[in-house]
Amino acid sequence: MPKKKSDSSVKTAPPPSGARLTEDTPAPSRKDMLREMLLIRRFEERCAEAYALGKIGGFCHLYIGQEAVGVGAISALRDDDYVIASYRDHGQALARGVPPRAIMAELFGRADGCSKGKGGSMHLFDRNVNFLGGHGIVGGHIPLATGVAFAIKYRGGDQVCLCFFGEAAVNGGAFHEALNMAALWKLPVVYLIENNRYGMGTALERASAINDIAERACSYDMPNEVVDGQDVFAVRDAVRRAAHRARAEHTPTLVEVRTYRFMGHSMSDAVSGTYRTKEELEEHMKRDPITVLRSDMEQHGEWSDQDMAALDDEIKGIVEDAWNFADASPEPALESLTEDVYANGEF
Protein backbone atom coordinates (compact mmCIF):
# COMPACT_ATOMS: atom_id res chain seq x y z
CA MET A 1 0.00 0.00 0.00
CA PRO A 2 1.29 3.48 -0.79
CA LYS A 3 0.62 4.53 2.80
CA LYS A 4 3.03 1.95 4.14
CA LYS A 5 5.68 3.13 1.76
CA SER A 6 5.42 6.71 2.87
CA ASP A 7 5.58 5.55 6.50
CA SER A 8 8.91 3.87 6.08
CA SER A 9 10.36 6.74 4.12
CA VAL A 10 9.31 9.13 6.86
CA LYS A 11 10.90 6.90 9.47
CA THR A 12 14.31 6.99 7.84
CA ALA A 13 14.24 10.75 7.49
CA PRO A 14 15.22 12.98 10.40
CA PRO A 15 12.35 13.41 12.83
CA PRO A 16 9.93 15.80 11.22
CA SER A 17 9.03 18.82 13.23
CA GLY A 18 6.25 21.25 12.97
CA ALA A 19 7.61 24.25 11.16
CA ARG A 20 8.60 26.99 13.55
CA LEU A 21 7.43 30.44 12.68
CA THR A 22 8.84 33.32 14.65
CA GLU A 23 8.80 37.05 14.72
CA ASP A 24 11.91 36.92 12.59
CA THR A 25 10.28 34.79 9.88
CA PRO A 26 10.05 37.42 7.16
CA ALA A 27 6.30 37.74 6.63
CA PRO A 28 5.32 34.10 6.89
CA SER A 29 3.45 32.99 3.83
CA ARG A 30 -0.14 31.89 3.91
CA LYS A 31 1.11 28.42 3.14
CA ASP A 32 3.37 28.44 6.17
CA MET A 33 0.46 29.35 8.40
CA LEU A 34 -1.85 26.83 6.76
CA ARG A 35 0.75 24.13 7.21
CA GLU A 36 1.11 24.89 10.93
CA MET A 37 -2.62 24.87 11.52
CA LEU A 38 -3.12 21.72 9.52
CA LEU A 39 -0.43 19.99 11.55
CA ILE A 40 -2.34 20.76 14.74
CA ARG A 41 -5.63 19.68 13.19
CA ARG A 42 -4.34 16.35 11.98
CA PHE A 43 -2.39 15.80 15.18
CA GLU A 44 -5.47 16.39 17.29
CA GLU A 45 -7.60 14.13 15.11
CA ARG A 46 -5.15 11.33 15.71
CA CYS A 47 -5.19 12.14 19.43
CA ALA A 48 -8.94 11.61 19.43
CA GLU A 49 -8.38 8.28 17.74
CA ALA A 50 -5.64 7.31 20.18
CA TYR A 51 -7.86 8.28 23.09
CA ALA A 52 -10.62 6.05 21.80
CA LEU A 53 -8.11 3.22 21.50
CA GLY A 54 -6.93 3.77 25.06
CA LYS A 55 -3.44 4.81 24.00
CA ILE A 56 -4.00 8.22 25.57
CA GLY A 57 -5.50 8.30 29.06
CA GLY A 58 -6.58 10.84 31.61
CA PHE A 59 -7.95 14.14 30.47
CA CYS A 60 -7.29 15.14 26.89
CA HIS A 61 -8.39 18.60 25.77
CA LEU A 62 -8.21 19.08 22.03
CA TYR A 63 -7.44 22.30 20.19
CA ILE A 64 -9.56 21.71 17.09
CA GLY A 65 -11.19 24.96 16.00
CA GLN A 66 -8.65 27.14 17.81
CA GLU A 67 -5.59 26.46 15.66
CA ALA A 68 -5.29 30.00 14.36
CA VAL A 69 -4.87 31.30 17.89
CA GLY A 70 -1.78 29.33 18.84
CA VAL A 71 -0.21 29.48 15.39
CA GLY A 72 -0.83 33.18 14.84
CA ALA A 73 0.22 34.23 18.32
CA ILE A 74 3.38 32.16 18.58
CA SER A 75 4.48 33.17 15.08
CA ALA A 76 4.85 36.69 16.47
CA LEU A 77 7.46 35.68 19.06
CA ARG A 78 11.23 35.36 19.01
CA ASP A 79 13.06 32.14 19.78
CA ASP A 80 14.21 33.44 23.15
CA ASP A 81 10.74 34.49 24.28
CA TYR A 82 8.72 32.33 26.64
CA VAL A 83 5.37 30.60 26.16
CA ILE A 84 3.18 29.25 28.95
CA ALA A 85 -0.23 27.66 28.50
CA SER A 86 -3.17 26.06 30.24
CA TYR A 87 -4.06 22.38 30.03
CA ARG A 88 -5.35 22.74 26.45
CA ASP A 89 -1.77 22.89 25.29
CA HIS A 90 -1.11 20.55 22.37
CA GLY A 91 -1.60 23.24 19.76
CA GLN A 92 0.65 25.82 21.40
CA ALA A 93 3.35 23.20 21.97
CA LEU A 94 3.30 22.21 18.31
CA ALA A 95 3.30 25.81 17.15
CA ARG A 96 6.22 26.59 19.44
CA GLY A 97 8.21 23.77 17.87
CA VAL A 98 8.01 21.03 20.47
CA PRO A 99 8.62 17.96 18.29
CA PRO A 100 5.41 16.10 17.39
CA ARG A 101 7.13 12.84 18.29
CA ALA A 102 7.88 14.06 21.81
CA ILE A 103 4.34 15.34 22.30
CA MET A 104 2.69 12.16 21.08
CA ALA A 105 5.05 10.05 23.20
CA GLU A 106 4.09 12.16 26.20
CA LEU A 107 0.42 11.64 25.47
CA PHE A 108 1.03 7.89 25.20
CA GLY A 109 2.78 8.02 28.59
CA ARG A 110 6.15 6.95 27.25
CA ALA A 111 9.75 7.55 28.25
CA ASP A 112 10.53 9.66 25.17
CA GLY A 113 7.73 12.10 25.91
CA CYS A 114 8.60 15.76 26.27
CA SER A 115 7.95 15.43 30.02
CA LYS A 116 9.30 11.85 30.20
CA GLY A 117 5.81 10.48 30.53
CA LYS A 118 5.32 12.19 33.88
CA GLY A 119 3.13 15.06 32.75
CA GLY A 120 0.67 13.83 30.14
CA SER A 121 -1.63 15.90 27.97
CA MET A 122 -2.02 18.77 30.42
CA HIS A 123 1.66 19.15 31.26
CA LEU A 124 3.74 19.39 28.10
CA PHE A 125 7.10 21.06 28.76
CA ASP A 126 10.13 21.69 26.56
CA ARG A 127 13.02 23.75 27.84
CA ASN A 128 14.66 23.70 24.39
CA VAL A 129 12.00 26.01 23.01
CA ASN A 130 11.15 27.88 26.21
CA PHE A 131 7.80 26.15 26.44
CA LEU A 132 7.05 26.52 30.13
CA GLY A 133 4.32 24.02 30.25
CA GLY A 134 0.75 23.28 30.20
CA HIS A 135 -0.81 23.86 33.58
CA GLY A 136 -3.86 22.14 34.99
CA ILE A 137 -5.44 24.54 37.45
CA VAL A 138 -7.61 27.13 35.72
CA GLY A 139 -5.81 30.47 35.95
CA GLY A 140 -3.05 29.08 38.17
CA HIS A 141 -0.31 29.71 35.61
CA ILE A 142 -1.20 33.35 34.99
CA PRO A 143 0.86 34.53 37.99
CA LEU A 144 3.71 32.34 36.73
CA ALA A 145 3.73 34.33 33.49
CA THR A 146 3.92 37.52 35.51
CA GLY A 147 6.88 36.02 37.35
CA VAL A 148 8.66 35.08 34.13
CA ALA A 149 8.19 38.65 32.96
CA PHE A 150 9.47 39.89 36.31
CA ALA A 151 12.61 37.80 35.80
CA ILE A 152 13.08 39.23 32.30
CA LYS A 153 12.94 42.75 33.67
CA TYR A 154 15.12 41.82 36.65
CA ARG A 155 17.84 40.66 34.25
CA GLY A 156 17.40 43.64 31.97
CA GLY A 157 16.37 41.43 29.05
CA ASP A 158 14.10 42.28 26.16
CA GLN A 159 12.20 39.03 25.90
CA VAL A 160 8.47 38.61 26.25
CA CYS A 161 6.35 36.04 28.02
CA LEU A 162 3.20 34.98 26.17
CA CYS A 163 0.53 33.41 28.39
CA PHE A 164 -2.45 31.51 26.98
CA PHE A 165 -5.59 30.88 29.03
CA GLY A 166 -9.28 30.45 28.49
CA GLU A 167 -11.95 33.06 29.04
CA ALA A 168 -13.22 31.22 32.11
CA ALA A 169 -9.96 32.02 33.91
CA VAL A 170 -10.69 35.74 33.99
CA ASN A 171 -13.23 35.27 36.75
CA GLY A 172 -10.69 33.90 39.19
CA GLY A 173 -8.45 35.76 41.59
CA ALA A 174 -5.18 34.60 40.07
CA PHE A 175 -5.94 36.48 36.84
CA HIS A 176 -6.59 39.76 38.59
CA GLU A 177 -3.69 39.49 41.00
CA ALA A 178 -1.32 38.67 38.15
CA LEU A 179 -2.50 41.45 35.84
CA ASN A 180 -2.46 44.03 38.57
CA MET A 181 1.17 43.33 39.39
CA ALA A 182 2.21 43.21 35.73
CA ALA A 183 0.66 46.60 35.11
CA LEU A 184 1.93 48.05 38.37
CA TRP A 185 5.49 46.92 37.73
CA LYS A 186 5.41 47.36 33.93
CA LEU A 187 6.35 43.83 32.98
CA PRO A 188 6.90 42.45 29.46
CA VAL A 189 4.05 40.00 29.23
CA VAL A 190 1.24 39.31 26.79
CA TYR A 191 -1.85 37.77 28.34
CA LEU A 192 -3.86 36.03 25.67
CA ILE A 193 -7.43 35.01 26.41
CA GLU A 194 -8.58 32.23 24.15
CA ASN A 195 -12.24 33.05 24.35
CA ASN A 196 -13.81 29.85 23.04
CA ARG A 197 -17.11 30.83 24.61
CA TYR A 198 -17.34 28.00 27.15
CA GLY A 199 -15.64 27.17 30.42
CA MET A 200 -16.27 23.46 30.12
CA GLY A 201 -20.06 23.59 29.75
CA THR A 202 -20.78 27.05 31.13
CA ALA A 203 -21.27 29.81 28.58
CA LEU A 204 -19.38 33.05 28.99
CA GLU A 205 -22.63 34.96 29.56
CA ARG A 206 -23.49 32.66 32.44
CA ALA A 207 -20.13 33.12 34.17
CA SER A 208 -18.94 36.66 33.57
CA ALA A 209 -20.67 39.89 34.51
CA ILE A 210 -19.30 41.52 31.37
CA ASN A 211 -19.18 39.87 28.00
CA ASP A 212 -16.49 42.01 26.41
CA ILE A 213 -13.87 40.52 28.63
CA ALA A 214 -10.99 42.47 27.14
CA GLU A 215 -12.47 45.31 29.17
CA ARG A 216 -11.21 43.60 32.27
CA ALA A 217 -7.87 45.17 31.36
CA CYS A 218 -9.31 48.62 32.04
CA SER A 219 -9.18 47.87 35.76
CA TYR A 220 -5.41 47.83 35.42
CA ASP A 221 -5.05 50.60 32.87
CA MET A 222 -3.67 47.94 30.57
CA PRO A 223 -3.77 48.12 26.77
CA ASN A 224 -6.18 45.58 25.34
CA GLU A 225 -7.45 44.38 22.03
CA VAL A 226 -10.16 42.08 20.67
CA VAL A 227 -9.19 39.89 17.75
CA ASP A 228 -10.90 37.47 15.42
CA GLY A 229 -9.45 34.16 16.45
CA GLN A 230 -10.35 32.38 13.24
CA ASP A 231 -8.07 34.67 11.24
CA VAL A 232 -4.51 33.54 11.84
CA PHE A 233 -2.92 36.71 10.47
CA ALA A 234 -5.14 38.91 12.58
CA VAL A 235 -4.00 37.02 15.67
CA ARG A 236 -0.36 37.30 14.59
CA ASP A 237 -0.66 41.03 14.02
CA ALA A 238 -2.30 41.66 17.37
CA VAL A 239 0.31 39.67 19.26
CA ARG A 240 3.08 41.40 17.31
CA ARG A 241 1.74 44.73 18.48
CA ALA A 242 1.48 43.47 22.04
CA ALA A 243 4.94 41.89 21.99
CA HIS A 244 6.44 45.08 20.63
CA ARG A 245 4.74 47.06 23.39
CA ALA A 246 6.16 44.63 25.93
CA ARG A 247 9.69 44.78 24.53
CA ALA A 248 9.92 48.45 23.78
CA GLU A 249 7.82 49.90 26.57
CA HIS A 250 7.69 47.10 29.16
CA THR A 251 3.94 47.38 29.01
CA PRO A 252 1.73 44.32 29.38
CA THR A 253 -1.24 43.76 27.09
CA LEU A 254 -4.44 41.77 27.38
CA VAL A 255 -5.46 40.28 24.05
CA GLU A 256 -8.89 38.71 23.81
CA VAL A 257 -8.98 36.29 20.92
CA ARG A 258 -12.48 35.21 19.99
CA THR A 259 -12.52 31.65 18.80
CA TYR A 260 -14.60 28.52 19.18
CA ARG A 261 -14.01 25.01 20.41
CA PHE A 262 -15.21 22.46 17.87
CA MET A 263 -14.84 19.53 20.25
CA GLY A 264 -16.08 18.86 23.77
CA HIS A 265 -14.24 20.38 26.71
CA SER A 266 -12.21 17.20 26.92
CA MET A 267 -12.38 13.86 25.17
CA SER A 268 -14.69 12.57 27.86
CA ASP A 269 -17.25 15.36 27.36
CA ALA A 270 -20.09 15.74 24.89
CA VAL A 271 -19.40 17.97 21.87
CA SER A 272 -22.85 19.49 22.19
CA GLY A 273 -26.01 18.80 24.13
CA THR A 274 -27.19 20.44 27.31
CA TYR A 275 -24.98 23.49 27.13
CA ARG A 276 -24.83 24.31 23.45
CA THR A 277 -26.86 23.22 20.45
CA LYS A 278 -25.67 21.29 17.47
CA GLU A 279 -26.90 24.18 15.34
CA GLU A 280 -24.71 26.64 17.16
CA LEU A 281 -21.73 24.38 16.75
CA GLU A 282 -22.37 23.94 13.05
CA GLU A 283 -22.74 27.66 12.58
CA HIS A 284 -19.34 28.27 14.14
CA MET A 285 -17.75 25.45 12.19
CA LYS A 286 -18.47 27.42 9.04
CA ARG A 287 -15.63 29.65 10.17
CA ASP A 288 -13.10 26.89 10.54
CA PRO A 289 -9.76 28.74 10.70
CA ILE A 290 -8.20 26.37 8.20
CA THR A 291 -11.06 26.81 5.75
CA VAL A 292 -10.99 30.58 6.22
CA LEU A 293 -7.35 30.75 5.23
CA ARG A 294 -7.59 28.14 2.50
CA SER A 295 -10.53 29.91 0.85
CA ASP A 296 -8.65 33.14 0.93
CA MET A 297 -5.68 31.51 -0.75
CA GLU A 298 -7.90 29.90 -3.36
CA GLN A 299 -9.58 33.18 -4.11
CA HIS A 300 -6.18 34.71 -4.71
CA GLY A 301 -5.30 31.86 -7.03
CA GLU A 302 -2.53 30.71 -4.69
CA TRP A 303 -3.89 27.35 -3.78
CA SER A 304 -5.50 24.37 -5.44
CA ASP A 305 -7.07 21.12 -4.35
CA GLN A 306 -3.92 19.37 -5.47
CA ASP A 307 -1.81 21.64 -3.32
CA MET A 308 -4.04 20.88 -0.38
CA ALA A 309 -3.87 17.15 -1.01
CA ALA A 310 -0.09 17.26 -1.19
CA LEU A 311 0.22 19.30 1.98
CA ASP A 312 -2.22 17.06 3.76
CA ASP A 313 -0.22 13.99 2.78
CA GLU A 314 2.93 15.54 4.12
CA ILE A 315 1.29 16.51 7.39
CA LYS A 316 -0.35 13.15 7.82
CA GLY A 317 3.07 11.61 7.34
CA ILE A 318 4.47 13.72 10.15
CA VAL A 319 1.64 12.77 12.47
CA GLU A 320 1.89 9.12 11.49
CA ASP A 321 5.58 9.24 12.26
CA ALA A 322 4.83 10.78 15.65
CA TRP A 323 2.30 8.05 16.39
CA ASN A 324 4.70 5.30 15.37
CA PHE A 325 7.48 6.83 17.38
CA ALA A 326 5.25 7.10 20.45
CA ASP A 327 4.00 3.57 20.02
CA ALA A 328 7.55 2.24 19.84
CA SER A 329 8.81 4.32 22.74
CA PRO A 330 9.19 2.33 25.96
CA GLU A 331 7.12 2.93 29.04
CA PRO A 332 9.05 4.97 31.61
CA ALA A 333 11.38 2.78 33.67
CA LEU A 334 9.90 2.01 37.08
CA GLU A 335 12.98 3.56 38.65
CA SER A 336 11.88 6.88 37.19
CA LEU A 337 8.90 6.87 39.57
CA THR A 338 11.04 8.45 42.26
CA GLU A 339 13.19 10.59 39.96
CA ASP A 340 12.73 14.35 39.74
CA VAL A 341 10.67 14.69 42.90
CA TYR A 342 13.64 16.76 44.09
CA ALA A 343 16.48 18.26 42.10
CA ASN A 344 19.92 16.65 41.98
CA GLY A 345 18.61 13.14 42.39
CA GLU A 346 17.63 13.61 46.04
CA PHE A 347 14.74 11.53 47.26
Residue 180-199 contact track with other proteins, rule CB under 8 A, x = bound: xx--x---------------
Return the number of the residue (71 or 183) whose C-beta is nearest other proteins: 183
Q: Say whether residue 333 binds other proteins (CB under 8 A).
A: no
The least CB distance from residue 252 to other proteins, in Å, is: 13
Instruction: Report the nearest approach of other proteins to the CB of residue 88 (Å).
Output: 16
Which range binds other proteins by CB under 8 A, 20-28, 178-186, 194-202, 231-239?
Answer: 178-186
Question: Can residue 123 be called a binding residue for other proteins (CB under 8 A)?
Answer: yes
CB nearer to other proteins: give 104 or 149.
Answer: 149
Here's the x/- map for other proteins, 40-79, by CB under 8 A: it reads as ----------------------------------------
Q: Which residues contact 11 (CB under 8 A, 6 or more apart)?
A: 321, 324
> Which CB, 114 or 235, lies closer to other proteins?
114
Query: According to the binding rule CB under 8 A, does residue 137 interact with other proteins?
Result: yes
212 is an interface residue for other proteins by CB under 8 A? no
Backbone angles phi, psi at 249, to 5 degrees: -120, 0
Q: CB-wise, 28 or 134, nearer to other proteins? A: 134
Q: Which of residues 93-122 bind other proteins (CB under 8 A)?
A: 113-119
Segment lying near other proteins (by CB under 8 A), choices 5-13, 20-28, 92-100, 126-134: 126-134
Which residue number, 183 or 257, has a Cβ lying nearer to other proteins? Answer: 183
The site that binds other proteins (CB under 8 A) totals a number of residues, namely: 49
* 299 Cβ contact list (under 8 Å, min separation 6): none
From the list 284, 318, 337, the residue with the least C-alpha distance to 42 is: 318
Q: What is the 3-state secondary structure (H, E, C) of the chain?
A: CHHHHHHHHHHHCCCCCCCCCCCCCCCCCHHHHHHHHHHHHHHHHHHHHHHHCCCCCCCCCCCCCCHHHHHHHHCCCCCCCEEEECCCCHHHHHHHCCCHHHHHHHHCCCCCCCCCCCCCCCCCCEHHHCEEEECCCCCCCHHHHHHHHHHHHHHCCCCCEEEEEEHHHHHCHHHHHHHHHHHHHCCCEEEEEEECCEECCEEHHHHCCCCCHHHHHHHHCCCEEEEECCCHHHHHHHHHHHHHHHHHHCCCEEEEEECCCCCCCCCCCCCCCCCCCHHHHHHHHCCCHHHHHHHHHHHCCCCCHHHHHHHHHHHHHHHHHHHHHHHHCCCCCHHHHHCCCCHHHCC
**Under 8 Å between Cβ of 21 and 36:** yes
Site string for other proteins, 270-299 (x = CB under 8 A): ------------------------------
Is 165 or 260 the residue whose CB approaches other proteins more closely? 165
Q: Which of 41, 42, 141, 258 binds other proteins (CB under 8 A)?
A: 141
Q: Give the residue with the Cβ less far from other proteins, 221 or 279.
A: 221
Min CB(127)–other proteins separation in Å? 5
User: What does the binding site for other proteins look like in residue numbers (CB under 8 A)?
Assistant: 82, 84, 113-119, 123, 125-127, 132-133, 135-137, 140-155, 161, 173-174, 177-178, 180-181, 184, 339-344, 346
